[in-house]
Amino acid sequence: MIDHLMQWLLRSKNGVFLPSGSETEKMGTESRLSVAKNKFNKSWLQDHLTDPYVKMAQKEGYRARAVYKLSEIDEQDSLIKPGMVVVDLGSSPGSWSQYVRNRLTELGKRNPKIESGKPDGTIIAIDLLPMEDIADVSFIQGDFREEEGLKAVERLLPEGGSGKVDLVLSDMAPNLSGVGVADAARMAFLAEIALDFAITHLDQDGALLIKCFHGSGYSQIVESFKKVFKTVSPRKPKASRDRSSETFLLGRHLKQMK
């Protein structure tokens, strides 16, 4: 089964089949096999195929198992409330945006001013990669590290860009190089820009949830959060694999900045 999948992955890039005669297609079987083996090691594949969260996401129409990380934190911390403005950083393929939309739509049923089937709130999402449309989610394909990406998000905020944000979510992750210190530094930078955005745009009682790595740089991120938020809580949802250093940090209620 695994070998069959490896063979399939050899012929595909991100699940899209390569045209016959392409560079990868021309590579020898052995080297293609080793490329594929590097990219998708067997244990990852085995885990993915048997992962209950993958199965549940497929059944419930979510684009990624990552949805269950957010849903667990939301259930524990009641993050999503009616009328919220939510910004989803690193949104693709879109399961977090789907979840937020579903929750806000559920909450919209209680609000007679909200048209049936519509979310009671605003969702703005950005990713380097494309994202298939999600109704009522404003998506920007761009780099949030760049001025252009940041400005594009800001233009979509309510009141012509000056309106406050209630919840910033960041599941942004760098492409991992395998060099621990470099990867941690890239992750820390993504955390820092999410925090800067929160400082500028969050409502006083707003919240920021970010993904980070538990390891080098983690304690500095926690310290930065503590300077900004009244409450800082680490979260490791069950859907986040035990062997992964991935963890989440939730900051709530901005401190008064002097």
Ligand X SMILES: C[S@@+](CC[C@H](N)C(=O)[O-])C[C@H]1O[C@@H](n2cnc3c(N)ncnc32)[C@H](O)[C@@H]1O
Catalytic residues: 211
Beta bridge pairs of residue 251: 208, 232
DSSP 129-143: S-----TTEEEEES-
State the minimum distance, in angstroms, from the CB of residue 25 to ligand X: 26
Which residue number places its CB atom closest to ligand X?
A: 90
In the complex, minimum distance from the CB of residue 137 to ligand X, in angstroms, rounded to a whole number:
12
* Residue 116, SS3 per DSSP: coil
Place of tokens 């703005």: 124
| Side chain identity at residue 70, one-letter code | L
Site stretch for ligand X (CB under 6 A), options 44-52, 53-61, 167-175, 234-242 = 167-175
The nearer residue to ligand X, 11 or 192, going by C-beta atoms, is 192
Binding segment (CB under 6 A) for ligand X, from list 10-18, 38-46, 84-92, 116-124: 84-92
Site string for ligand X, 31-70 (x = CB under 6 A): --------------------------------xx-xx---
Pairing of strands 165-170, 121-127: unpaired
Q: How far is the CB of 186 from ligand X (least distance, A)?
A: 9
Contact status: 173 vs ligand X (CB under 6 A) = yes
Q: Which of 158, 165, 173, 237 is nearest to 208 (CA)?
A: 165
The smaller minimum CB distance to ligand X, of residues 6 and 140, is found at 140
Smallest gap from Cβ 114 to ligand X, in A, equals 24
- Give the number of other Cβ atoms within 10 Å of residue 190's Cβ: 21
Our finding on whether 96 is near ligand X (CB under 6 A) is: yes
- 237 counts as binding ligand X under rule CB under 6 A: no
**CA 220 to CA 159: how far, in whole Å?**
34
Give the footprint of ligand X on residues 124-153 (CB under 6 A).
Answer: 126-129, 143-145
Kindly determine how many residues on this chain lie close enough to bind ligand X according to the rule CB under 6 A: 21
Q: Could you tell me what percentage of the chain is helix, strand and coil, using 3-state DSSP and rounding each to the nearest 5? A: 45, 20, 35
Calpha distance 230→253 (Å, rounded): 6
Q: Is residue 105 a contact point for ligand X (CB under 6 A)? A: no
Residue 83 contacts ligand X per CB under 6 A:
no
Residue 79 DSSP class? -
Coil, helix or strand at residue 241 = coil
The helix/strand/coil state of 166 is: strand
Give the footprint of ligand X on this chain (CB under 6 A): 63-64, 66-67, 90-96, 126-129, 143-145, 171-173
